[in-house]
A and B are shown apart, each in its own frame.
Chain A
Amino acid sequence: MSEFLQQLINGLSLGAIYALIALGYTMVYGVLRFINFAHSDVFMVGAFIGYYAGEHLPRGTVLGGMASMGAAMLGCAVLGVVIERLVYRPLRGGPTLNVLITAIGVSLFLEYAGQLIFGATPRAFPDIFPSRVIEIRGLIISMNQVIVIAVSTVLMFALEFIVHRTKIGTAMRAVALNPKAALLVGINIDIVISFTFALGSALAGAGGVLYALNYPSIDPLMGVVPGLKAFVAAVLGGIGNIQGAALGALLLGLVETFVDGSRWSTYKDAIAFAILIAILLFRPAGLLGRVSAEKV
């Protein structure tokens, strides 16, 4: 039983990080109908901003840790907005394939610029939060896991609030549903798209720091694998659907962790993905996605 609970906590904290990344994929897809492949590298940049901020801030305190994370979120939000403004916006209105290929280009650019600037050798991520281990009846929970789960829960509720209770959030949904009609009520689509990139990238930035806390070394290619998995999670949940992305990510985190803890751990990714493929066979639009003809 305690083994099960232990794995449940591990799986949830891994899934929560996937969720923070997956939300950015799904939101951008929602408004622009393309996959921003550079998103996983924004996540990596977030970890590095957290690393450098952590060096200048008091270590091992909740406040210092939060400040590092805030810096990563802010830095990534700016990076996301700049990428959209400089690279994706000039291509808007053209074929989606062009943007998709460009996104891969941006991804490679960030990865190699990262190697140039940060160096290719993995670095140990500082303990920006207090490192304590809580033990409850044989259950070992690290302070980092508590922080991952707490921070991602807060961020996901904040996102839910922004998207459903604020004017700009409602405008985001309106643009995702029908950009023409959004224009006709006076919504400035450029601003809504910038806002979407800022929001998604900020979440990825937080995800980068949280990921680095649990897998304590970081390098410029660290985004590739978690980014891919978060993308899969977003598709699993129904791409374009915010709750779906969170659900898909938690599911993926749990499956991966439980398989990892079993004797088939060598095949953890293979088994996790096999389960995902099986789910998609029965629900091709994802768990919460709806099959709908795209409106012209």
Chain B
Amino acid sequence: MLEIKDLHVSYGAISALRGISLKVDQGAIVTLIGGNGAGKTTTLRTISGLLRPKRGTVVFLGEDITQLAAHRIVARGLGHVPEGRMVFSNLTVDENLAMGAYLQRDKAVIGRNREYVFGIFPRLKERLRQVAGTLSGGEQQMLAIGRALMGEPKFLMLDEPSLGIAPRLISTIFEKIQEINRDRGIAILLVEQNANLALEVSSQAYVLETGLITMEGPSADLRNNPQLKASYLGG
């Protein structure tokens, strides 16, 4: 589904990614874990076209999208729920969802996706007329995911969905992520600092450290890896 090869990205003289490769198979949940500043967000932003790599390729559904404009990548079926949620804070929940369906012309499809989003996040339906900036952190995360789903993605990238969210909501959000993957067959690339949680829901995992992939394998194996336990899983 998605394959990146030897990706190098730098901000001016500072290199953020120093040649990483990873793969996400159809229908899989893959996680990318690592500490602050490891390059997780940079990886996602480069895949979705917000950043341009110095070297390397991004292939999505058999097509090289490395140089494609961000809005065209979305049109190919790649959804990105960005770090910090980035909901349109002055727009209502309804308008945010409408913007999520910006490229969708078929009214029936838009209606169906809305119903699906309300089905998994009923809270959004209750807050339809509310301005997004006044929602709680968890609700904004639901909206950000809902907005991405309105674009009818085949593949979804989530950047730190647990960040700044009330602990009791975190498990709900992660259940919903698994539900989306199961019901709609949407492949997911999950970036998380909460490694325990990420390894629990994913089948495959990559560990990123200062711009390099240092470990990869089935999530179940990584969960029992002593080295990883010491540095990311709290002993």
Contacts and interface: CB of A to CB of B under 8 A. Distances in A.
Partners in one complex: yes
Interface in A175-193: 177-178, 180-189
A173 interface: yes
Given A170-B99, A171-B99, A178-B86, A183 B70 contact: yes
B207 interface: no
A181 B95 contact: no
13 contacts: A170-B99, A171-B102, A174-B88, A174-B99, A180-B50, A183-B70, A184-B48, A184-B50, A184-B79, A185-B74, A186-B74, A186-B102, A187-B71
B91 A177 contact: yes
A268 to B, nearest CB: 37
A167 interface: yes
Interface in B25-66: 48-50
Interface of A: 167, 170-171, 173-174, 177-178, 180-189
A187 B100 CA distance: 9
B80 interface: yes
B171 interface: no
A181 B100 CA distance: 10
Task: Find the residue from A171, A183, A186 having the highest chain B CB count within 10 A.
Answer: A186
B79 to A, nearest CB: 8
Contacts of A178: 86, 88-89
Contacts of B100: 185
Contacts of A189: 71
Nearest to B87: A181
A180 B48 CA distance: 11
Given A177-B90, A184-B86, A170 B71 contact: no
Q: Specify the main secondary structure of chain B where it touches its partner.
A: loop
Nearest to A296: B84
Given A184-B80, A188-B71, A177 B89 contact: yes
Contact of A186 (B75, B87, B88, B98): B75
Size class of the B contact interface (CB-based, 8 Å)? 20 to 34
A243 to B, nearest CB: 13
Interface in B84-142: 86-91, 95, 98-100, 102-103
Report, nearest first, the 10 A-B pairs whose CB atoms are least far apart: A186-B74, A181-B86, A183-B70, A186-B103, A186-B71, A188-B71, A184-B80, A177-B88, A186-B102, A174-B88
A189 B82 CA distance: 18
A170 B82 contact: no
Contact of B102 (A177, A180, A187): A187
A94 B82 CA distance: 24
Interface of B: 48-50, 69-71, 74-75, 79-80, 82, 86-91, 95, 98-100, 102-103, 147-148, 150-151
Contacts of B69: 188
Contacts of A186: 71, 74-75, 102-103, 151
A153 B102 CA distance: 30
B224 to A, nearest CB: 36
Nearest to B45: A180
A28 to B, nearest CB: 18
A174 B91 contact: yes
A181 B50 contact: no
Contacts of A188: 69, 71
B86 A180 contact: yes
A169 to B, nearest CB: 10
A242 to B, nearest CB: 12
Given A183-B70, A185-B147, 6 more contacts: A167-B98, A173-B90, A174-B99, A177-B91, A180-B50, A184-B74
Contact of B88 (A167, A181, A183): A181
Contacts of B99: 170-171, 174, 182, 185, 187
B69 to A, nearest CB: 8
A173 B50 contact: no
Contacts of B89: 177-178
Contacts of B71: 183, 186-189
A183 B91 contact: no
Contacts of A170: 91, 95, 98-99
A188 to B, nearest CB: 5
Nearest to B144: A181
Contact of A185 (B50, B90, B151): B151
Task: Find the residue from B49, B98, B99 having the highest chain A CB count within 10 A.
Answer: B99
A170 B148 CA distance: 17
B104 to A, nearest CB: 9
A179 to B, nearest CB: 10
Nearest to A191: B71
Contact of B82 (A171, A184, A187): A184
A225 to B, nearest CB: 33
A181 B95 CA distance: 14
Task: Find the residue from B69, B70, B74, B90 having the highest chain A CB count within 10 A.
Answer: B70
